Amino acid sequence: MSKPAIFTGAGVALVTPMHPDGSINFEKYRELIDFQIENGTDAIIAVGTTGEASTLDNDEHLEAIRVAVEHTKGRVPVIAGTGSNNTRQAIYMSTRSKELGADGLLLVTPYYNKTSQRGLIAHYTAIAKAVDLPMILYNVPTRTGLNLKPETVAELYKLPQINAVKQASSNFSETTILASLCDIPIYSGNDDLIVPTLALGGKGVISVLSNVAPRAVHDLCASWFAGNTEESLKLQLQYLDLANALFTDVNPIPVKEALNMMGFEVGQCRLPLYDMEPAAKEKLRAVLQRYDLIK
Of 144, 143, 187, residue with least CA distance to 165: 187
Written as one letter, the residue type at 204 is G
The domain segmentation of the chain, as residue ranges, is 9-226
pLDDT at 19: 98
Residues 224/240, Cβ–Cβ less than 8 Å: no
Full-model pTM = 0.96
Distances (CA, A) of 39 to 4, 17, 35: 24, 19, 6
CB atoms within 10 A of CB 271: 8
pLDDT of residue 1: 61
Q: Report the CATH fold assignment for 9-226.
A: TIM Barrel (3.20.20)
Identify the burial level of 8 via C-beta atoms within 10 angstroms of its C-beta, where 0-12 means exposed, 13-18 middle and 19 or more buried: middle
Rg (C-alpha) for the chain, rounded Å, is: 18
pLDDT along the chain (295 residues), means of 10: 89 98 97 98 98 97 98 98 98 98 98 96 98 98 96 97 95 96 97 97 98 98 98 98 97 98 98 96 98 95
pLDDT score recorded for residue 3: 84
Residue 189 confidence (pLDDT): 97
- Active site positions, annotated: 138, 166
